[in-house]
Amino acid sequence: MSSWLPGVAAVLKASGWAPGRKVETGRWRSMFEAVGLVMHDPAESFLQEFGGLTVNVSGPGITCARTPFELDPELACGEDDRFLEWGESIGRRLFPLGELDHGRFFLAIDEVNEIYLVETWVASFGPMPQALENLVLGVTPRRIDEGDGPAGQTP
């Protein structure tokens, strides 16, 4: 990403990110494809650049508290049914990215680069790069009611 909102690049760099960062994603790919979750191109691109980062943010945010998150898909291991079912419900293919708030919520990305909070309900942080900025800056994700598609569209 070339231009982040003020403060976002500093938070990401403090978490270990650098422009051009590239990590191996094969382990995550094989782990989840074995249970039916296919790593699509946006998931691979995102994880190559941001996989393995732990972002320790806290305090007041723009519309909600800034909450730490960890970008390690392995943290969602065993939750494949949740990602498959919610993906089917919203008409998108979700791939796990990690956890938000020390495991209280999961994070996922779809095939059009939108990032989601996944629990017993689902909400959208928006498309990348805005989604990562929303996570870092404390912007409340938009809750998606079952049957609604991303960005309020019906699939």
Q: pLDDT class for 146, splitting at 50, 70, 90?
A: low
Identify whether 129 is preceded by a cis peptide bond (ω within 30 of 0): yes
pLDDT tens by residue, 49-85? 999 999 999 999 999 999 999 999 999 999 999 999 9
- The predicted pLDDT at position 154 comes to 35
Q: Please provide the average confidence, as pLDDT, over all residues in the chain.
A: 92
d(CA 84, CA 137): 28
Quick check: 99 and 52 in contact, CB under 8 A?
Answer: no
pLDDT tens by residue, 9-53? 999 999 999 999 999 999 999 999 999 999 999 999 999 999 999
Please report how many Cα atoms fall inside a 13 Å half-sphere around the Cα of residue 97, on the Cβ side: 35
> What percentage of residues in the chain have a pLDDT greater than 70?
92
pTM across the whole model = 0.91
Which residues, 6 or more positions from 122, have their beta carbon under 8 angstroms from its beta carbon? Answer: 86, 89, 90, 116, 143, 144
